[in-house]
């Protein structure tokens, strides 16, 4: 079936909640994706930060094939070995003590919020606790996750949303301090804002928020769904800052394509929050997802993925800075590691640049008001950076004054 017919069939059967690019992707290998017409695309989006190992990693694929032949699902009424192994490895690399596996990042945020509210409830037996989240944040699309997402455009059609949530200005400590009261149970933020435009937390800000949390027995929840799992050169972005959360949410590259997320917490929070019956999931932590997480963490260690990100990210920054110097329509570069953004002048729509790059064989996505977002697989090499820069140069050339 030709691509046009596939897309027409999709529009007749799949709920239209995405404005999709007009290609039908069929397979992938390494850093590249191929559509049903055989066209090749250099991938600098990684499925929105999911495909950390690229495509076709044989060691990863083999582990999943082996698990398929053993066991896919049992429910959480029973133990299973792959998920126990995955939990031990994830706790070890994160420095946190307890993990709950979910099916997505949104569910990880939901669980993190529930844990924080239960922690506060067990202290004072009241239910009117408040959460401080950040403007321009994004945490997911379920009602609970929307409630803490700092973008009114996403929230308004679904209000009233659950809970009492107040929004502070990201990287503005006084804004956070002004919202704290004796009902505040948690402060929730992305260590690096992704959808909001690729804004890293300033170290003084994150340290200041942690200090507030310690002084008031408030839980610090860090959303590492997009910026975690090696993307910045440490396993989790907060580790570069040296500021440990009480609860952390992660997903995306945790399974490198298999739907899986997790929220983790310290032993102190675990002992004083969720108890049997307080939270659950039918599919979360199934043997198949556990095998995926376990193998991903093995590959990260064996192939020294973190060290590679540290090595290659400087070259990516260098080439992006060169583009910024060459093209006045690029107003700023920001980000950490392999999570980078180029902000464009308002006269140059990022969505239009992304679409034109796709026509030339480069997959890019956007973020914030007018930002090109770079989230390549972590197996990126210099030749891929050069290829990306050349394609982007061809596209941006059309916008020179």
Residue 396 CA to residue 390 CA, distance in Å, equals: 10
116 close to 221: Cβ distance less than 8 angstroms: yes
Cβ neighbors of 355 (< 8 A, separation 6 or more) are 21
pLDDT of 114 > 80? The answer is yes
Convert 120-153 into a string of H (helix), E (strand) and C (coil).
Answer: HHHHHCCCCCEEEEEECCCCCCCHHHHHCCECHH
Q: What is the pLDDT of residues 250-309, one digit of tens each?
A: 999 999 999 999 999 999 999 999 999 999 999 999 999 999 999 999 999 999 999 999
* Phi, psi torsion values for 295, nearest 5 degrees: -70, -40
Q: What is the pLDDT of residues 325-370, one digit of tens each?
A: 999 999 999 999 999 999 999 999 999 999 999 999 999 999 998 9
Calculate the average pLDDT of the chain: 97
With cut-offs at 50, 70 and 90, classify the pLDDT of residue 400. confident
Q: What angle do CA 31, 285, 379 make, to 5 degrees?
A: 15
Q: pLDDT value at position 399?
A: 86
Q: pLDDT value at position 401?
A: 66
DSSP 50-92: T-TT-B--HHHHHHHHHHHHH-S---TTS--HHHHHHHHHHHH
Query: Which stretches does DSSP call E strand in 176-294?
Result: 184-190, 192-193, 199-200, 219-223, 247-250, 261-265
In percent, how much of the chain has pLDDT > 70? 100
pTM of the predicted model over 0.95:
yes
With cut-offs at 50, 70 and 90, classify the pLDDT of residue 388. very high
Residue 188's nearest CA partner among 105, 112, 270, 107 is 112
CB neighbourhood size of 276 (10 A): 6
As given in the structure block, the two tokens for residue 41 are: 């695309």
Residue 160, preceding peptide bond in cis (omega within 30° of 0)? yes
Q: Give me the residues paired with residue 365 across strands.
A: 373
Q: pLDDT value at position 46?
A: 98
Q: Rg of the chain's alpha carbons, rounded to an integer?
A: 21
Domains of the chain and CATH, by start: 3-56+305-399 (3.90.1150.10), 71-302 (3.40.640.10)
pLDDT of 94 > 80? The answer is yes
Q: pLDDT value at position 327?
A: 96
Q: pLDDT value at position 321?
A: 98
Q: What is the pLDDT of residues 117-161, one digit of tens each?
A: 999 999 999 999 999 999 999 999 999 999 999 999 999 999 999
pLDDT of 1 > 80? The answer is no
In percent, how much of the chain has pLDDT > 90? 98
Residue 99 CA to residue 293 CA, distance in Å, equals: 12
Q: What is the pLDDT of residues 32-89, one digit of tens each?
A: 999 999 999 999 999 999 999 999 999 999 999 999 999 999 999 999 999 999 999 9
Q: Which of the residue ranges 1-10, 175-184, 212-221 would you say has the lowest mean pLDDT?
A: 1-10
């Amino acid at each position: 079936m030709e691509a046009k017919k596939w897309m027409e069939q999709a529009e007749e059967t799949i709920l239209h909640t995405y404005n999709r690019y007009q290609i039908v992707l069929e397979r992938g290998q390494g850093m590249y994706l191929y559509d049903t017409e055989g066209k090749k695309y250099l991938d600098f989006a990684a499925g929105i930060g999911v495909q950390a190992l690229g495509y076709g990693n044989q060691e990863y694929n083999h582990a999943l094939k082996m698990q398929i032949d053993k066991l896919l699902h049992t429910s959480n009424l029973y133990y299973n070995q792959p998920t126990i192994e995955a939990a031990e490895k994830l706790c070890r690399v994160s420095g946190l003590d307890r993990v709950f596996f979910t099916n997505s990042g949104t569910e990880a945020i939901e669980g993190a919020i529930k844990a924080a509210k239960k922690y506060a409830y067990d202290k004072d037996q009241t239910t009117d606790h408040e959460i401080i989240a950040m403007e321009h944040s994004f945490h997911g699309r379920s009602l609970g996750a929307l409630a803490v997402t700092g973008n009114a455009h996403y929230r308004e059609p679904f209000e009233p949303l659950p809970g009492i949530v107040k929004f502070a200005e990201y990287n503005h400590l006084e804004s956070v301090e002004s919202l704290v009261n004796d009902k505040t149970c948690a402060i929730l933020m992305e260590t690096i804002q992704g959808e909001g435009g690729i804004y890293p937390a300033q170290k003084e800000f994150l340290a200041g928020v942690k200090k507030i949390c310690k002084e008031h027995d408030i839980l610090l929840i860090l959303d590492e769904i997009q910026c975690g799992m090696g993307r910045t050169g440490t396993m989790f972005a907060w580790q570069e800052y040296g500021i440990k959360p009480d609860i952390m949410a992660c997903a995306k590259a945790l399974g490198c394509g298999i739907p899986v997320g997790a929220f983790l917490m310290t032993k102190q929070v675990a002992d004083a929050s969720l108890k049997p019956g307080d939270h659950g999931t039918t599919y979360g932590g199934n043997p198949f997802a556990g095998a995926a997480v376990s193998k991903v963490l093995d590959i990260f260690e064996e192939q020294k993925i973190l060290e590679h990100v540290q090595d290659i990210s400087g070259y990516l920054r260098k080439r992006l800075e060169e583009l910024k110097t060459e093209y006045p329509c690029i107003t700023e570069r920001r980000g950490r590691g392999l999570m980078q953004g180029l902000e464009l002048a308002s006269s140059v729509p990022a969505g239009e640049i992304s679409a034109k790059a796709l026509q030339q064989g480069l997959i890019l996505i956007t973020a914030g008001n007018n930002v090109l977002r770079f989230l390549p697989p972590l197996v990126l090499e210099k030749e891929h950076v050069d290829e990306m820069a050349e394609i982007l140069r061809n596209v941006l050339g059309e916008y020179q004054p």
